Amino acid sequence: MLTILNPLMRIVEIPMLALQRLLGINRLAWAFLLPNLVLFGLFAFLPVILNVFYATTGSDNVLLEARPYIGARNFESLTDCGNYLDANTCREDKFWRAVFNTIWFVTLQVGIMVGFALLTAVILNRDIRARGFFRSVFFFPVLLSPVVVALIWKWILQREGVLNAFLDWTGAGGINWLVDAGWAFGWSVFISVWAHMGFYTLILLAGLQAIPRDVYEAAEMDGASAWRTFRRITLPLLSPTMLVVLVLALIKGVQTFDEIYAFTGGGPGTATTFIIQYIYERGFAGAPRLFGLAAAASLLVAGVLVLLTLAQLWANRRNVDG
């Protein structure tokens, strides 16, 4: 397949060879790095700097020169609250609703997801038949696109969907799931767990398989009970992996947007509006386009994510060292 590119590569070789003569072999590394660094610079680092600019300027114009400096006013708008525990008392009540929703969502979603992922991994780690098949079963929703996940479940949960039909049949009666705020939130957590659990299961399974079997045999010789073995051997030895999984799930949880947006559109009301959706709506979906507020909120999220990423790197290092 690559041979069709060979003529092209031969053309690239000409300037690269000239550069090699000019720079010497080791400094040629920069020529190999350049395209990547340009991309990163333009689409990762420059945006971070500009984000600070946007967060401190006003107006609904996206062009830099048309934006007056307003200092910390965007942050003040975001944090202007009578009572921080009650979103209704805030100027940007939608922001606070999104923040509270996100906190609740992440707590529930990560807790439930990691719990079930651990259970599934423990079971898959047993001496079961067709393990590869079962692993695939739990893993495959990870590959589905968020919109597809949302539509699959919307179809099941709709008023005259198969779930309500089943409840009807049992006599429990149907519920209009996505119209009720509480149910919509609950199902959002559910489909998010459904879609992402397989990924964490895979990691935890690998962690379990890395625990040497002779440790268990030693524990058995010492007469440890099953529960004790699990508590005192499996969990501690798995804890580095657990830590990584938790941090990673948190990082992703905070950024939840796609499948919930396609699933409920953030509603009913703002019941399932999370922080990224708030940024999206303030910056791109509503009028006027409040880029400043969106950027300010982005910075706050970025701060949380940087902390979590540092925690992840630290967890990984521990994982490798210990």
Partner 1 sequence: MGERLFGKPDGGSGGASRTRTGGAPDQNRSDEIGGGASGATQGRTGGASGVLDETRSETAPRGPAGATAAPERAEAPRKAHEGRDRAEGAPASAATATRSGILGFLTATRGRGRMDWTDWVSYAYLTFGIFLMFGPVVWLVLSSFKDQNELDRFPPRFLPYAQETMVVDGFDDPLPIFVVTEGELEGQRVGQTRRAAGRAEVVTQDDPDNRIRLTTDQITPVEGVAFATENYTQLFERFNFMQFFWNSTFITLMSTAIMLLVNSMAAFALSKYQFRGRTSVLLIVIGTLMIPQTVVLVPLFLIVTEMGMFNSLWGVIIPGAATPTGVFLLRQYMITIPDEILDAARMDKASEWKIFWRIIVPLSAPAIAVLAILAIMWRWNDFLWPLIVLTRTENFTLQLALNSFQGELQTDWPSLLAMTVLTLLPIASVFMFLQRYIATGIASTGGK
CB of 88 to partner 1, least distance (A): 27
- Chosen residue from 65, 173, 213, 288 binding partner 1 by CB under 8 A: 213
Site for partner 1 in 20-39 (CB under 8 A): 20, 25-30, 32-33, 35-37, 39
Give the one residue of 80, 86, 104, 140 binding partner 1; rule: CB under 8 A: 140
Q: Does 287 bind partner 1 (CB under 8 A)?
A: no
> What DSSP letter does each residue of 20-39 carry, written as one string?
HHHH-TGGGHHHHHHHHHHH
By CB under 8 A, the residues from 99 to 128 that bind partner 1 are 119-120, 122-123, 125-128
> Of residues 89, 217, 236, 269, which one binds partner 1 by CB under 8 A?
217
Q: Which of 91, 230, 267, 268 binds partner 1 (CB under 8 A)?
A: 230
Q: What's the min distance (Å) between Cβ of 173 and partner 1?
A: 13
Distance between CA 200 and CA 248 in Å, rounded?
9
Question: Cβ distance 134 to 318 under 8 Å?
Answer: no
**Residue 96, interface with partner 1 (CB under 8 A)?**
no
Binding residue (CB under 8 A) for partner 1 from 88, 89, 145, 176: 145
Phi, psi at residue 125, to the nearest 5°? -80, -10
Shortest distance, position 201 Cβ to partner 1, whole Å: 10
75 is an interface residue for partner 1 by CB under 8 A: no
Which of 90, 219 has the CB closer to partner 1? 219
Q: Which residues contact 23 (CB under 8 A, 6 or more apart)?
A: 30, 31
Residue 283 makes contact with partner 1 by CB under 8 A: yes
- Is 103 buried (19+), middle (13-18) or exposed (0-12) by CB count in 10 A? middle
Instruction: Please name the residue ranges forming H helices in the chain.
Output: 6-23, 29-40, 46-55, 73-79, 93-124, 131-139, 146-157, 162-170, 181-209, 213-221, 226-229, 235-254, 258-264, 275-280, 291-321
Q: Residue 308: how many CB atoms within 10 A of its CB?
A: 18
CA nearest to 206, candidates 273, 125, 149: 125
Q: Is 179 in the site for partner 1 (CB under 8 A)?
A: no
Residue 90 beta carbon to partner 1: minimum distance, rounded to whole angstroms:
21
Closer to partner 1 by Cβ: residue 73 or 135: 135
**Residue reference for tokens 């040497």:** 212
